[in-house]
Amino acid sequence: MIQYIIGKIMEDIKMTENNIEFTSVDIEEFYDKDELNKDEFSTNLVVLTEKEQVLVNTLFDRLKSISPESLEVFANRVADLERLTKNIAHFPSLLERQVVAAEIRTEQTLIESLLTNRGGDKMLHLPSKAILGKGFIVAKFHVFMSMCKIALECGFPKSEIAEYQKATLSLMFTIMAEDVYLSMLDNLSIPIDLRQQVAYALIILWEHRSDQNVSEMAPVLEAVWLARKKLAPVFGTMVGTSELLLLSIEMDDQWCKFISTQLGDKEVSMALEEFLFGLSYEEILKLKDILKNKGLSAIGREEVAKFLDKPSIQDSGISSEDPRQFYLDYSVRRDNARARLRMNLPGPHTTLEDHYMRFIMEKNKEKQYNDVYAK
């Protein structure tokens, strides 16, 4: 397939001594229709969604006249994704019944396995298709990150750049959703029926590498993230009241309902505090003591970094606008929460993202119940 793509590109790039001419090539031409119709693609794990394919087509069209060298490299990356998808498709569906060494494996046995609280890293207990699928979605994220950079460097219209950024962020949230689901499975404070629902949602995510809950979670968390970056936290009382009020003004009704119904839970309050300040629970406690001992009413970000002997986000080498920074911040809070839970230490044992996903799933479950009852 890679040879086909490169050959197609080189065939359509007609070299002359002084200029380069291009003929129009649709991205669909890069995929053999007969191959796409084979049974091995019944996994439903596709290389590009319809919206993503439109973005790729646009980039291809632009690169033909701007940078044919970049077009060839980019075509290789898309072909790599297609080959990876094809290989993953050889693994059996997680929704099908299988018999392995006299052991019957079904969707239900997988759910039961996921609900077994083992502690530690579950990687070796997860299906091969789940592990391979994560590699695919991460590779796809990198491809779209490259598309964002190309769009910026080539001066695409702001509206188109925003679409590339939105698609990239959506992929990041899909990656994060898997982590959130796995954390929720280990949270024994969540009722078993909801954890069963989480396990099923995780299986569907592994099967198709898409998730309906992400479509609800992503826009809100993205908006919270963007709104949070606009705020300069008042490191005074270290309660975050003013930040929360300013943040909520910019948010939709669903976020406001989440805050109004869940903030009374101390676990949610601590997780939100970590998110708002961009600091760990332990660092927040340390700052509170410093403020009290030094008799300070408030301090700025630079002073916070100095007191904690901690580099600022600018020192991390990643822009605060980069989706990878969002995931990096989340992963630090996630790992800290898991460590506290394992060691039975004070502080939040789950992240804000975990709480919000639970809120969404409980809300959807309630809506389904009401719909059935209404009938």
- The per-residue pLDDT for 1 is 46
Three-state helix/strand/coil letters over 304-343: HHHHHCCCCHHHHCCCCCCHHHHHHHHHHHHHHHHHHHHH
Q: Which residues of the chain have pLDDT under 50?
A: 1-7, 9-10, 13-43
- The per-residue pLDDT for 221 is 85
- The per-residue pLDDT for 253 is 84
- Using CA atoms, how far apart are residues 347 and 337, in angstroms rounded to an integer? 8
- The per-residue pLDDT for 68 is 87
- Could you tell me if 211 and 205 are in contact, meaning their C-beta atoms sit under 8 angstroms apart? yes
CA 339, 341, 347, 351 torsion: positive or negative?
positive
Q: Which helix (H) or strand (E) holds 13?
A: strand 13-15
- The per-residue pLDDT for 373 is 62
- The per-residue pLDDT for 232 is 53
Task: Report which of 82, 83, 4 is spatially closest to residue 12, judged by C-alpha positions.
Answer: 4
Residue 189, token pair as written in the block: 């404070």
The H-assigned helical ranges of the chain are 2-12, 33-36, 50-66, 68-88, 107-114, 128-153, 158-185, 192-208, 212-230, 241-249, 253-262, 266-277, 281-294, 301-308, 323-343, 352-374
What is the pTM for the complete model shown?
0.83
Q: Which amino acid is residue 89, in one-letter code?
A: A
Burial of 167 (0-12, 13-18, 19+ CB in 10 A): buried
Query: What is the biggest distance separating any 2 CA atoms in the chain, rounded to whole angstroms?
Result: 75
Strands 13-15, 20-22: pairing is antiparallel
Helix (H, G, I), strand (E, B) or coil at 83: helix
- The per-residue pLDDT for 18 is 40
Residue 36, token pair as written in the block: 């796409």
Contacts of 79 (CB under 8 A, 6+ apart): 1, 2, 5, 30
